[in-house]
């Protein structure tokens, strides 16, 4: 059976955008194949705004999420293997899903699909830890698994 993560990611992205919210993804930047600006990675992770206003040519594929984003005024192609995406959530409300750590190989019978875990925003983080960007005037909410 095919992995659920790409389908859940696309569905949550559409729900967040249709709700007028800003979709953020939490990326494990230490996964092989991740291409993000390393200067914005904190503790091996980066949070990216993937709203239609923030990125161009967004492709939510089965194996990768790819798009073009701007960081400190320069354009960069972002490559995010699906397995590197740890969560997708609304920037303001914190609603979304987190994915359990697992090895996602559709052709491996022993691999198990991740459990989707609802997220809830509970506290704010500092601007430095949040990776405050030009389109973000305030701190981003933190995530707590419930």
Structure token digits, residue 133: 């960007």
Per-residue tens of pLDDT for the chain, all 146 residues:
889 999 999 999 999 999 999 999 999 999 999 999 999 999 999 999 999 999 999 999 999 999 999 998 899 999 999 999 999 999 999 999 999 865 444 444 434 444 555 555 433 333 344 444 444 555 555 555 54
Residues 6+ apart with CB under 8 A from 98: 26, 86, 87, 89, 116, 117, 118, 119, 143, 145
pTM above 0.85, yes or no: no
pLDDT for residue 100? 82
Mapping DSSP onto H, E and C, the string for 1-46 reads CCCCHHHHHHHHHHHHHHCCCCEEEEEECCCCCCECCHHHCECCEE
Whose structure tokens read 């939490």?
26
DSSP β-bridge partners for residue 49: 24
Domain chopping of the chain, boundaries: 5-145
Given the candidates 3.90.1860.10, 3.90.1200.10, 2.30.30.220, 2.60.120.10, the CATH classification of the domain at 5-145 is: 2.30.30.220
Distance between CA 105 and CA 45 in Å, rounded? 22
Distance between CA 34 and CA 119 in Å, rounded? 23
Distance between CA 68 and CA 57 in Å, rounded? 6
Whose structure tokens read 């990675």?
41
């Amino acid at each position: 059976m095919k992995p659920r993560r790409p389908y859940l990611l696309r569905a949550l992205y559409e729900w967040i955008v249709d709700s007028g919210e800003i979709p953020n993804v939490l990326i494990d930047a230490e996964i092989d194949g991740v291409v993000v600006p390393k200067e914005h990675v904190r503790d091996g992770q980066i949070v990216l705004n993937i709203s239609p206003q923030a990125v161009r040519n967004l492709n939510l594929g089965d194996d990768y999420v790819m798009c073009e984003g701007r960081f400190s005024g320069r354009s960069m192609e972002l490559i995010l293997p699906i397995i590197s995406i740890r969560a997708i959530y609304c920037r303001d409300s914190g609603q979304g899903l987190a994915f359990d750590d697992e090895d996602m190989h559709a052709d491996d019978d022993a691999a198990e699909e991740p459990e989707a875990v609802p997220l809830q925003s509970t506290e704010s983080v500092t601007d430095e830890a949040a990776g405050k960007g030009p389109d973000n005037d305030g701190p981003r909410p933190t995530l707590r698994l419930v």
